[in-house]
Amino acid sequence: MVHSLRQNNIRLSRFFLTLVSGGLITLVFPKLSWAETPSFPQPRSTSPEPTLTSTAETVTSTSPNSASQNVQDLQPANLEVRSVENIADAAHLFGSAPQAINPQIHAEEINAIETPAISPEVSFSPLTMSGTEHPFSDASSERRLSEVLAAGFQNATLLADAPNDPEGDEAGTRSNKWDPGRPDSHAPIGVMGDHTHSKSEVMLSYRYMRMGMSGNLDGRNNLTPEEVLADFQITPLRMTTEMHMFGAMYAPTDELTLMVMAPYVIKSMDHLTRMGTNFTTNSEGFGDIRLSGLYKVFDRSNQRIHFNAGISFPTGSISEKDATPAGPNQVLPYPMQTGSGTFNLMPGITYLGQAGSWSWGGQGMGTIRLGRNVQEYRLGNQLSLTAWGARKWSKSISTSLRLKGRILGNNVGEDPRLAPGNLLEPPLIPTIDPELRGGSRVDLSVGLNFLAQKGFLKGHRFALEAGLPIFQSLSGPQLENDFTITVGWQKAFKP
């Protein structure tokens, strides 16, 4: 049983590696079709920034980011916008502004309409029109044209990211769309599935998490080791959980982002027996791999909402063993296992908002275990709610404060390999009691997000978050949480 479970783990792991690497490879191919984008005379610029050019009929872009589609979505402002762009277009083609067009008229027309926001992906920049190399020879008509464009696009994104720089620092800074290019556009690093990506973006991530527990609680009351040993033969003293979390995200559309997360877990628990001896058990291995779909349903007024639909696979082990006073190779208690053994659904909803230098968000997520595992038990279902606020101090740095509440149920059913210990009087150890697993906790965390804006690390994100419990009430005796630390790296790009 153990052996076949292990083999299933390996098979599933291989399946996901194939899935992810296959996805990465296929992403390379759409790039080839960009070469077919019709190209018109460009402003004489050496900038690698994507440049929007236009004709009376269409707006095309060298950016793969469906800029033309986004611009054409600007109904009913379409005609007015085009008429202005015709000036720019004519300027591109003929090297001077047509004298017959009075920019003032267009400015009034444009001010009369409420220009819808342009997606941050659209690269439309009046600033490029006032560059030193643009084709206008008449400085005043150049200035007036810039004013017209600025008036018409005051709500629009003026500069957007390059195709390979989805987190460009200027993206969305002047639009009323939620801006993905800020350090605080990603939630504190301890939150997963907090953001979606725009079409064809990929993001890779790595997180290291460390959680420390020590001392036992029963309800909200602290228990000394002696108090626990009055009722049990062994008491856990402390536990350390480390997790290496590897993640990949890919957005097939602007609405849908797919995410896979693979944890590698390392656990260690110290114990004290009634006889006064100490012993430590260790376990490590891959945990349950999680696949999620994040579906964006709202993206307006600097706010976003997406639904999270996750499923985790029983790739983690429920048969970790180590030496205990009972003998070598003993199946370890529930909290020392690296997996749940069940398929789990993780439905959730995430809300994000931005205003000026501030941002905030919230996420509610459930974990619903489907059926029971091969040992005929399941871990408790979970509900977690978190909310945070963040302050952006520069284009690179933001700090955050976050509250997280979690309710965890007790196990249902019991691992028969641990059950014999329950027949002893007094019982062996609290960690093998399926009724002593649940509880509720509230943590308060501070976080730091860093988004490199230049140098060879441009676009790379580094983040840190540290949390302390401010409330815990546990079915006890059960080890209480002391701290949680998460550090992480993230990089988004367009393959």
Q: Using CB under 5 A, which of 81, 107, 171, 203 touches Cu ion?
A: 203
In the complex, what is the shortest distance from the CB of residue 198 to Cu ion, in angstroms, rounded to a whole number?
Answer: 11
Residue nearest to Cu ion (CB): 203
Residue closer to Cu ion, measured from CB, 249 or 346? 249
Scanning 155-163, 195-203, 383-391, 416-424 for contacts with Cu ion by CB under 5 A, the matching segment is 195-203
Scanning 99-107, 197-205, 210-218, 383-391 for contacts with Cu ion by CB under 5 A, the matching segment is 197-205
Residue closer to Cu ion, measured from CB, 149 or 187? 187
Sole residue written with tokens 């296929």: 26
Residue closer to Cu ion, measured from CB, 119 or 205? 205
Residue closer to Cu ion, measured from CB, 195 or 378? 195
In the complex, what is the shortest distance from the CB of residue 111 to Cu ion, in angstroms, rounded to a whole number?
Answer: 38
Return d(Cα 436, Cα 408) in angstroms, integer.
Answer: 11
Residue 167 near residue 181, CB atoms below 8 Å:
yes
Residue closer to Cu ion, measured from CB, 205 or 281? 205
In the complex, what is the shortest distance from the CB of residue 168 to Cu ion, in angstroms, rounded to a whole number?
Answer: 15
In the complex, what is the shortest distance from the CB of residue 290 to Cu ion, in angstroms, rounded to a whole number?
Answer: 14
In the complex, what is the shortest distance from the CB of residue 120 to Cu ion, in angstroms, rounded to a whole number?
Answer: 15
Residues in contact with Cu ion, total (CB under 5 A)? 2
Return d(Cα 122, Cα 114) in angstroms, integer.
Answer: 18
Residue closer to Cu ion, measured from CB, 309 or 412? 309
Scanning 124-132, 201-209, 336-344, 452-460 for contacts with Cu ion by CB under 5 A, the matching segment is 201-209
Q: C-alpha 136: how far from its chain's center?
A: 45
Residue closer to Cu ion, measured from CB, 51 or 398? 398
In the complex, what is the shortest distance from the CB of residue 251 to Cu ion, in angstroms, rounded to a whole number?
Answer: 9
In the complex, what is the shortest distance from the CB of residue 294 to Cu ion, in angstroms, rounded to a whole number?
Answer: 9
Scanning 12-20, 200-208, 357-365, 458-466 for contacts with Cu ion by CB under 5 A, the matching segment is 200-208
Residues, the chain:
495
Residue closer to Cu ion, measured from CB, 442 or 464? 464
CA atoms within 13 A on the CB side of 208: 4
Residue closer to Cu ion, measured from CB, 109 or 194? 194
Scanning 198-206, 392-400, 401-409, 434-442 for contacts with Cu ion by CB under 5 A, the matching segment is 198-206
Return d(Cα 305, Cα 351) in angstroms, integer.
Answer: 5
Per-residue x/- mask for Cu ion, residues 361 to 380, rule CB under 5 A? --------------------
Return d(Cα 204, Cα 492) in angstroms, integer.
Answer: 6
209 binds Cu ion (CB under 5 A): no
Please report, as residue ranges, which positions from 240 to 299 form the binding site for Cu ion (by CB under 5 A): 249
In the complex, what is the shortest distance from the CB of residue 247 to Cu ion, in angstroms, rounded to a whole number?
Answer: 8
Sole residue written with tokens 């302390």: 468
In the complex, what is the shortest distance from the CB of residue 265 to Cu ion, in angstroms, rounded to a whole number?
Answer: 22
* Residue 367: closest CA among 386, 349, 347: 347
In the complex, what is the shortest distance from the CB of residue 249 to Cu ion, in angstroms, rounded to a whole number?
Answer: 4
Residue 458 near residue 494, CB atoms below 8 Å:
no
In the complex, what is the shortest distance from the CB of residue 258 to Cu ion, in angstroms, rounded to a whole number?
Answer: 11
CB neighbourhood size of 222 (10 A): 11
In the complex, what is the shortest distance from the CB of residue 484 to Cu ion, in angstroms, rounded to a whole number?
Answer: 21
Residue closer to Cu ion, measured from CB, 310 or 341? 310
In the complex, what is the shortest distance from the CB of residue 256 to Cu ion, in angstroms, rounded to a whole number?
Answer: 13
Per residue, what are the HEC states of the chain? CHHHHHHHHHHHHHHHHHHHHHHHHHHHHHHHHHHHCCCCCCCCCCCCCCCEEECCCCEEECCCCCHHHHHHCCCCCHHHHHHHHHHHHHHHHHCCCCCCCCHHHHHHHHHHCCCCCCCCCCCCCHHHHCCCCCCCCCHHHHHHHHHHHHHHCCCCCCCCCCCCCCCCCCCCCCCCCCCCCCHHHCCCCCCCCCCCCCCCCEEEEEEEEEEEEEEEEEECEEECHHHHHHHCCEEEEEEEEEEEEEEEEECCCCCEEEEEEEEEEEEEEEEEECCCCEEEEEEEEECCEEEEEEEEEEEECCEEEEEEEEEEECCCCCCCEEEECCEEEEECCHHHCCCCCCEEEEEEEEEEEEECCEEEEEEEEEEEEECCCCCCEECCCEEEEEEEEEEECCCCEEEEEEEEEEEECCCEECCCCCHHHHHCCCCCCHHHCCCCCCEEEEEEEEEEEEECCCCCCCCEEEEEEEEEEEEEEEEEEEEEEEEEEEEEEEEEECC
Residue closer to Cu ion, measured from CB, 59 or 249? 249
Binding site for Cu ion (CB under 5 A): 203, 249
